[in-house]
Structure 1
Amino acid sequence: MDMASRNKAYLLFPFPSQGHLAAFTSLACLLHRVAPSATVTLVSTARNVAALSAMAPPWLAFHSLPFSPSDHGLPAHAESTDALPIADMVTLFEAFESLQPAFDAYVQAMVAANASVVVVSDLFVAWAAGVARRHGCSHAFFTTCGAFGTAIMRTLWENTPLSVTPAGHVSVAVPPGFPDGILLLHTTQISGLLLRADGQDRWSAFYRRQIAHSGTTDGVLVNTVEELEPTGLAMLRSSLHNVVPVWPVGPLIRAAASSPDNDGIITWLDSQPIKSVLYISFGSQNSITQAQMARLAMALERTRRPFVWAIRPPVGLAADVAGGEWLPEGFDERARHMSRGLVVRCWAPQVRILAHHATGAFLSHCGWNSVLESLAHGVPLIGWPLAADQFYNVEMLARKECGVCVEVARGNTEDDVPKVESVAELVETVMGKTAKAAEMRMHVENVSEQMRDTFREDGGSSMKSMTMFLEATRGRMHS
């Protein structure tokens, strides 16, 4: 499936957020698999390149674009979102637009050296489509979110300020055939940034600049599976006026790489019964409040079910505050002493945990990478969305036609503190011997099987999409 890829160069340009960088790296691996003679280069700024290249395979090339965060009023080290509070992130989004001249010069040099160049850019660096066009290159967007979440976010940002009903609902236009005919979102499913947006603010202006480029591409690659998101893909295609091709090429997820079990997590999991452990993580950049942590901890003690909790500092609390102070007094020690659970500070080997036979459910913020990793390993989800597309991922996954997730709570403000009994009851519903648990496991096993089949060489849906992408982008030659 090399598709005459010799002398072809793929330039991948992600936005520097951990989830985006991880997904683009997985896309690079897929491109190398289907077009092994092509050059694959990941483009970013120096700090991001240094971090990524340290663990990269030898065939993956990198190119650094000059970038000085301090020129934009950012801390000198702030080249990715994990270095910034949410309030300052819009500045980084805007600052990345200043990379256009340097990227333009790089593409021009690559065009001179290669017969054919394909630019694949993040939706948050959509201006790269214009650079590709100026130099006669093929271009595709790659959305690291799911199709449903991407379509909803696009529609909401296109229509700021949002019209909210007295009951607190926002209606979203959906294409013909949507199961309910209309999608009503509650304000608790919409981030504060969107609710405050008036159409003239910096976030609205940024998103609208990116959306304006969407018609100038050869297509959109989506990190999803056709069988998982038929409705979401229909919505995304409709939002693009059914003119721009949409190619689902997922699931692009990290491998469960073996590494030293320094924290004893895997050894501890080995000692637990099959499908008995609840894994808890709110992602690499998200967290809940200290009051929410306390309620969750009390619910875990009530269920008496084993757990692994990858915990980050609560919202509003500095990272250097001792981890024990985040939780009810003695919680961590009681869990370890009774071998009932592990509290892991800040990082855990998520894919290895999800792949382990002892893991029975994942209480997650439902960021898209976490969703795909969970479903690929046959682990049902308990959703606690906190921001952005996470709310719409849960909305889609919990719907009857999907049925692999239930929502336990939403949001991470002091107004969103769930009851201990409610959390404990829902954990038992998903992990106990209940009809709901059996139904969810059946659904998630079906999805996991679909994901395994999607990269079959003899007709997997994502392999078909990759073939269409390669064919659509191989004909544009440089003059």
Structure 2
Amino acid sequence: MPAKLVPLAVVMVPLAAQGHLNQLLHLSRLIAARGIPVHYVAAEAHIRQARSRVHGWDPSSAAAIHFHDLPTPAFSNPAPDPNAASKFPAQLIPSLVSSMHLRQPVVELVRELAASALKLAVVYDSTLPYVVQDVPAIPNAKAYCFHSIAAFSVYSFAWEYAGKPSLTEEASIFENVPSADGCFPPEFAEVMQFQHNLPKISSGDIYNTSRVIEGAYIDLLAKEKPTGTGEIWAVGPFNPVERKQSDELCLKWLDKYSLNSVILVSFGSTCSLSDEQITEIAVGLEKSGQNFIWVIREADRGNVFQGEARRAPLPEMYQERVQGRGLILRDWAPQLEILGHVATGGFLTHCGWNSCMESISMGVPVVAWPMHSDQPRNAVLMTKVLGIGVEVAEWARGEGIIPSAAVETAVRRLMASEEGEGIRNRAAELGDAVTKSVLQGGVSTKEMDSFITHISK
């Protein structure tokens, strides 16, 4: 036995996809800042991916986090298919299946860490209960489920999977959310069905959200317990909320523009668009007459360090035509810092929850263009519930080409109209409220205090 046991240690088990890796790395930082040892576990390539892309805070602050490279079997690493009928990142499914083999390495590490701590909390991604199912058998260890999506979306999926029972008045909005049909391919649905048929092991649920954003839906989850537990902590946003200066080229470019005069265009790390769709976006942005930063990069593979990335073509002489009001970025971009710049007044986004939370916390409204998974529901939350965005088009299962005229109209509507100004004001007010929620005495800080107290008992 060690000479001295630490009172508490935390283990993070993320899903091997950027939005999930990133959120749990941010949560690791927040917990480690309280003097609690945090152990972040994944395959070597995915730890490297998470660490190389961290933004918004000093990477050296990760020194308090212990990274554990765990072995997983080799998997195929297919390229994204920009012409696939579904925009779901099917190229990531092999790495997801491979990660199921983390079960034995994870439980061995947890047993080792449990021998040197009085209490051990294992925070696992909601898609990975299979990997941590042995944790409850360890006397001083408990498992906690992290949901990488909105409380609104979690409740909505649970309600739909339960057969859409009658709703209370406060939940009536869910009658108008898009169906899950078309949001996930059969292969992914099979993996998830297998996982959700396992016994419930979670001692509580953690969300990267704030009660000032989703208080009503957090209360519904706590009351009806569709995830199996009523213990819920909404401790977000995980990302920093203060605006930071940087020497990045794109931020220096933004320095030349006036308040709220630029729209960021980015579809996250898993969306791959066809050449035809990229052309329509290009034309729509050009015709809108608005200033923009457009991040055009290929979607991630299961291993982002292997394979050659596709470089999608732009219309001939496009960059010359938009010079002075459009900046094209082809590599990883500091999205949080761009959103935090005072010149950024809008965000054309796929509505991944990471992007939604970053946009909300920086007070930036959105043009919503959901592609797959929870994104159509997030878009409803952003536009119809919170009133801080507009839609490019009605969700249509991610199929078909959105024409340039729809892009032009939506961008103008947000960036150059009286309606857009009202939306921007609401976004700014919500951003201020979210910032206050993570300050000392704020509601999210109190939720984090409650979580730390709970796992310390």
TM-score bracket for the superposition, by shorter chain length: 0.7 to 0.9
Determine if contact 2:184/2:372 at 8 Å carries over to the other structure.
Answer: no
- The answer for the alignment partner of 1:474 in structure 2 is 456
Q: Which runs of 5+ in 1 are unaligned?
A: 78-84, 160-170
- The answer for the alignment partner of 2:83 in structure 1 is none
- The answer for the alignment partner of 1:441 in structure 2 is 424
Between the aligned residues of both structures, percent identity stands at 24
- Give the count of matched residue pairs: 430
Q: Distance in 2 between the 1:186 and 1:221 partners?
A: 25
**Do structure 1's residue 303 and structure 2's residue 308 form an aligned pair?**
no
Deviation at 1:175, TM superposition (A): 4.6
Q: Distance in 2 between the 1:11 and 1:320 partners?
A: 33
Determine if contact 2:16/2:95 at 8 Å carries over to the other structure.
Answer: no
- The answer for the alignment partner of 2:182 in structure 1 is 191
Q: Distance in 1 between the 2:398 and 2:209 partners?
A: 33
Q: Distance in 1 between the 2:361 and 2:410 partners?
A: 23
Deviation at 1:76, TM superposition (A): 11
2:114 maps to which of 108, 111, 132: 111
- The answer for the alignment partner of 2:320 in structure 1 is 333
The one-letter code sitting in structure 1 at the alignment partner of 2:430 is V
**CA separation of 1:241/1:206 partners in 2, compared to 1, >3 Å: closer, same or farther?**
closer
**Do structure 1's residue 123 and structure 2's residue 126 form an aligned pair?**
yes
Deviation at 1:258, TM superposition (A): 5.4
**Do structure 1's residue 62 and structure 2's residue 67 form an aligned pair?**
yes
- The answer for the alignment partner of 2:265 in structure 1 is 280
Determine if contact 2:73/2:98 at 8 Å carries over to the other structure.
Answer: no
Q: Distance in 2 between the 1:191 and 1:398 partners?
A: 21
Deviation at 1:275, TM superposition (A): 0.7
Q: For 1:215, what is the secondary structure of its paired residue? A: coil
Determine if contact 2:371/2:397 at 8 Å carries over to the other structure.
Answer: no
The one-letter code sitting in structure 2 at the alignment partner of 1:99 is L
**Do structure 1's residue 240 and structure 2's residue 226 form an aligned pair?**
yes
Determine if contact 1:69/1:75 at 8 Å carries over to the other structure.
Answer: no
- The answer for the alignment partner of 1:11 in structure 2 is 11
**CA separation of 1:409/1:454 partners in 2, compared to 1, >3 Å: closer, same or farther?**
same
**CA separation of 1:411/1:333 partners in 2, compared to 1, >3 Å: closer, same or farther?**
farther
1:293 maps to which of 278, 295, 302: 278
Determine if contact 2:279/2:314 at 8 Å carries over to the other structure.
Answer: yes
Q: 1:391-430 maps to which residues of 2 (within 5 A)?
A: 391-399=376-384, 401-409=385-393, 415-430=399-414
Determine if contact 2:206/2:235 at 8 Å carries over to the other structure.
Answer: yes
So what's the TM-score if we normalise by structure 1? 0.81
Deviation at 1:269, TM superposition (A): 1.1
Higher relative CO (CA 8 A, sep ≥ 6), structure 1 or 2? 2
Q: For 1:125, what is the secondary structure of its paired residue? A: coil
**CA separation of 1:174/1:246 partners in 2, compared to 1, >3 Å: closer, same or farther?**
farther
Determine if contact 1:13/1:122 at 8 Å carries over to the other structure.
Answer: yes
Q: Distance in 1 between the 2:297 and 2:51 partners?
A: 26
So what's the TM-score if we normalise by structure 2? 0.85
**Do structure 1's residue 359 and structure 2's residue 344 form an aligned pair?**
yes
Deviation at 1:455, TM superposition (A): 1.7
Moved more, 171-180 or 366-375: 171-180
Deviation digits for residues 227-277 of structure 1, max 9, x if unmatched?
11134324433352774311111001157665543xx32222111121111
Determine if contact 2:372/2:397 at 8 Å carries over to the other structure.
Answer: no
Determine if contact 1:289/1:413 at 8 Å carries over to the other structure.
Answer: no
**CA separation of 1:11/1:312 partners in 2, compared to 1, >3 Å: closer, same or farther?**
same
- The answer for the alignment partner of 1:345 in structure 2 is 330
Deviation at 1:52, TM superposition (A): 4.4
- The answer for the alignment partner of 2:42 in structure 1 is 44
**CA separation of 1:427/1:204 partners in 2, compared to 1, >3 Å: closer, same or farther?**
closer
The one-letter code sitting in structure 1 at the alignment partner of 2:44 is A
Q: Distance in 2 between the 1:105 and 1:383 partners?
A: 43
The one-letter code sitting in structure 1 at the alignment partner of 2:435 is R
Q: Distance in 2 between the 1:284 and 1:254 partners?
A: 20
- The answer for the alignment partner of 2:31 in structure 1 is 31
Moved more, 416-425 or 270-279: 416-425
**CA separation of 1:145/1:32 partners in 2, compared to 1, >3 Å: closer, same or farther?**
same
- The answer for the alignment partner of 1:143 in structure 2 is 147
Moved more, 61-70 or 385-394: 61-70
**Do structure 1's residue 270 and structure 2's residue 255 form an aligned pair?**
yes
Deviation at 1:286, TM superposition (A): 1.0
Deviation digits for residues 131-173 of structure 1, max 9, x if unmatched?
22010212211112111122334455x46xxxxxxxxxxx844
Q: Distance in 2 between the 1:115 and 1:314 partners?
A: 42
Deviation at 1:308, TM superposition (A): 0.6
1:249 maps to which of 214, 222, 235: 235
Deviation at 1:333, TM superposition (A): 1.8
The one-letter code sitting in structure 2 at the alignment partner of 1:281 is S
Q: Distance in 2 between the 1:230 and 1:429 partners?
A: 29
The one-letter code sitting in structure 2 at the alignment partner of 1:375 is I
The one-letter code sitting in structure 2 at the alignment partner of 1:223 is N
Q: Distance in 2 between the 1:395 and 1:467 partners?
A: 31
Q: 1:197-216 maps to which residues of 2 (within 5 A)?
A: 197=186, 202-213=187-198, 215-216=200-201
**CA separation of 1:425/1:120 partners in 2, compared to 1, >3 Å: closer, same or farther?**
same
**Do structure 1's residue 101 and structure 2's residue 98 form an aligned pair?**
no
Moved more, 15-24 or 404-413: 404-413
Q: For 1:373, what is the secondary structure of its paired residue? A: helix
Q: Distance in 1 between the 2:255 and 2:201 partners?
A: 51
Q: Distance in 1 between the 2:310 and 2:102 partners?
A: 37
Q: Distance in 1 between the 2:383 and 2:51 partners?
A: 37
Deviation at 1:347, TM superposition (A): 2.3
- The answer for the alignment partner of 1:374 in structure 2 is 359
- The answer for the alignment partner of 2:55 in structure 1 is none
Deviation at 1:42, TM superposition (A): 0.5
The one-letter code sitting in structure 1 at the alignment partner of 2:284 is A
The one-letter code sitting in structure 1 at the alignment partner of 2:330 is R
Q: 1:211-222 maps to which residues of 2 (within 5 A)?
A: 211-213=196-198, 215-222=200-207
Determine if contact 2:107/2:132 at 8 Å carries over to the other structure.
Answer: no
